[in-house]
Structure 1
């Protein structure tokens, strides 16, 4: 992920025409795709759903009114209310209105539910992180050490497309979302960064952080297990051993809870398994 703008693995060496060509290439050049960020248009989406909802309410009211008429109408109309094929075959006069209304409701319901599902999908995606958001705004507004004011890449109403972070959606969030990865990415990202040839943007690939965190997690896990076993082997006092088991178990649980994305049930399960290993080591006289 970029320290200042994004997670682009390879610097852009071809200078594109400023505007849609240059900004599109910038988004596409990010190997980790963390900068593929667009607006959700929450306000417009909500308004569109409200419009569709109101249209369906009107159609529903029309349907109910026709049902009331048929309830007090002829036997033929009542029969049509029970047999769809017959209603379609005799779709003339007032019955034609009923069939057309039913088909219109079907089409509008499909449009409404598709919009609901699309919005559900968008709302399940995460907004960009503060780092990516700040990076995109720097790039979009062409801000550099020599030009802190900059100028927008796109014109018209599009100059404000990145101003509301809550209305943005990242199409591909980082591969790892655990706390340790986030901490390393936010605090020590500069270690993995490198400058590009085209501008002052600095990048670092996400996979390097993943490899580093994997190695670090493995070392910490090994130290907690091996360190506990060595201490329990050296200490002969049963009281001290019980104290060490409690300390190492608490340390293990804290480490799992703070450095991983494990849920509470998973933390309990992992801690129980860890403490069981230590108890077996002590009770089995393996430390004597």
Structure 2
């Protein structure tokens, strides 16, 4: 990419020098070449015709190198005879276009590569542990790339997995061997590694979904029940207590969403606002019934 940038800079500098030579020339036809493509092509054809009519001196007077010069002139004439006559400016623009298209293609590929998902801490630590135990590369310098987390990408990311899945997966490792058999998947046939353990992803996701459902039920049912008991007393401070409960449980809800899911800021804001609206509706209903 940097090489193409330098080539583009050199070609653009050559084009600028050519434009300056024509623009500041004393010949009016040369000045016209900068403003008109037809005039530039016409001047290029005239230059080509002038080169063809250039007289050749005798080979004996020009020395040994004249044969090579005549050969180069013949090759140039043959090439110009097969192809249309192009001006120097047109050739430079074609070269700039070619380099620019190649540069844009590499730039787009680099942008697509940058959009790939980076590995999470759990996957990165697991891969580093596998490298440490198996040492697949003979040279330690060749293994330094595994320490550069920001330069690694995940080929098969788990979009729905969050920190909760990581916590459950870690909890499986500390369970007794008789209990974690339910979560450990069998190794592929012909692949035996004492340092490697395959977790049953589907079962871990089911446990994570169950935990999320229980948390949601707790965050919805608990404040409703407490607000109902407070409002039933019909005291003057019941409204302020309900507002305090609303703030506390809204903070718990947003913290839970941020920790156990991969919700973005906008999604977290919308979910918290909807949760607050539900609790406010309950507060209003309880207050009207109490009165």
TM-score scaled by length of structure 2: 0.65
After superposition, the Cα gap between the structure-2 partners of 1:179 and 1:157, relative to the gap in structure 1 and judged at 3 Å, is closer
Q: Give the counterpart of 1:180 among 159, 164, 173.
A: 164
Secondary structure in 1 matching 2:193: coil
1:66 positional shift: 0.4
Partner of 1:103: 94
Which residue in 2 is equivalent to 1:198? 192
C-alpha RMSD of the superposition: 3.3
CA contact (8 A) 1:194 1:203 kept: yes
Alignment of 1:224-263 (within 5 A): 224-235=219-230, 236-237=232-233, 238-239=238-239, 240-263=241-264
Residue 129 of structure 1: aligned partner = 120
Distance 1:154 1:130, change over 3 A: farther
Query: Higher helix proportion, which one?
Result: 2
Describe the superposition over 1:46-88 as per-residue Cα deviations: whole angstroms up to 9, x where unpaired: xxx2222111111111011001011023444444434446655
- The whole-number CA distance in structure 2 between the counterparts of 1:203 and 1:87 is 70
**Structure 2 unpaired stretches of 5+:** 49-85, 174-179
- Contact kept? 1:128, 1:169, Cα under 8 Å: yes
Q: Which one of 95, 110, 114 corresponds to residue 119 of structure 1?
A: 110
| Distance change >3 Å, CA 169–CA 76, structure 1 → 2 | farther
Which deviations, in whole Å up to 9, do the C-alpha atoms of 1:129-152 show, x marking residues without a partner?
3433343345456x3xxxxxx442
Q: How does 1:207-218 map to 2 (within 5 A)?
A: 207-218=202-213
Cα gap change, 1:166 to 1:229, in 2 (>3 Å): closer
Unaligned segments of structure 1, at least 5 residues: 1-48, 144-149
For 2:250 and 2:129, how far apart are their aligned partners in 1? 46
Structure with larger RCO (C-alpha < 8 A, sep 6+): 1
Tell me how far 1:287 sits from its aligned partner: 6.1
Q: Hey, what does 1:29 align to over in structure 2?
A: none
Q: Is the 8 A contact 1:181 1:213 kept in 2?
A: yes
Mapped partners of 2:251, 2:275: distance in 1: 10
